[in-house]
Amino acid sequence: MAARVVLELSAVERHYSQGDKALSILKGADFRLNAGQTVALVAPSGTGKSTLLHLAGLLERPDAGDVLINGRSCGTLGDEERTRVRRHEIGFVYQFHHLLPEFTAIENIMMPQLIGGLSKAEARERGAALLDYMRIGHRADHRPSELSGGEQQRVAIARAVANAPFVLLADEPTGNLDPETAGYVFEALKALVKQSGLAAMIATHNYDLARLMDRRVTIEDGQVVELD
């Protein structure tokens, strides 16, 4: 049985103006990511790593080509429908957790579910299950300021997958953590990907973590290139 492709970039191009010159970041780039896979994006700064994540997350539109989420073309979607896809089908994790400081851990995880239309009881039940899975269920009623850096990032990961997205995009999710905590957070993230069947693209400068992922890619001359 063929693996299901949940994220695809097809002949994607992205150009920016730099003074009176055009700067080409992606030049007909192709990329596919299957359900249940983790891929490390280890491109150096300035080669288009953030641009690739923004395009995959529908935060930017390509100048040419298409982005497909779970087999559906997003190239012609209007802004409202793109927002809906981002909200329900894509999860985001950043280097800084961006948790809402006035809410508890479980309330932070409940928030995207409530916005998505779930009842408070359903959102709380799923939030509690995710916190238990991330081994911080006992911290559910603590605010971000009362949590360690690793705990905050695990809450952020749980929040990112609360709406059961197809794709998880993470930009240096362990870059702010010490090596031991980073390793634990990454293992929790990888286990969650395998358990839920979503696909994850994780940008990182940490080659030790990159080697633990299913695939590694970089960006060379505007193309997404597989690494050994």
Q: Where are the domains of the chain?
A: 5-98+166-226
pLDDT of residue 26: 93
Q: What percent of the chain has pLDDT over 70?
A: 99
Pairing of strands 38-41, 215-220: parallel
Both tokens of 204, joined, read 């990182």
pLDDT of residue 18: 77
Which stretches of the chain score pLDDT less than 70? 1-2
pLDDT of residue 73: 94
pLDDT of residue 44: 77
The SS3 of residue 198 is: coil
The SS3 of residue 1 is: coil
Residues with Cβ within 8 Å of 98's Cβ and at least 6 positions away in sequence, in order, are: 156
> Are the CB atoms for 171 and 94 separated by under 8 Å?
yes
pLDDT of residue 201: 94
> Are the CB atoms for 106 and 141 separated by under 8 Å?
yes
Q: What is the pTM of this model?
A: 0.88
pLDDT of residue 1: 53
> Are the CB atoms for 159 and 111 separated by under 8 Å?
yes
Q: Note the helical H segments in the chain.
A: 49-56, 79-89, 105-115, 120-133, 149-160, 179-196, 207-210
Structural Rg of the chain based on CA atoms: 18
Q: Which residue has the tokens 């090596």?
A: 179
Torsion of CA 210, 193, 177, 179, to 10 degrees: -50
Q: Rounded CA gap, 189 and 64, in Å? A: 32
pLDDT of residue 2: 58
Q: Rounded CA gap, 9 and 223, in Å? A: 11
CATH of domain 5-98+166-226: 3.40.50.300
> Residues 112, 118, 123, 126: is their CA dihedral positive or negative?
negative
pLDDT of residue 58: 95
Name which of 109, 213, 209 is nearest 152 in CA terms.
109
pLDDT of residue 42: 92
Residue 222's region, left for phi above 0, alpha for psi from -120 to 50, else beta, is left
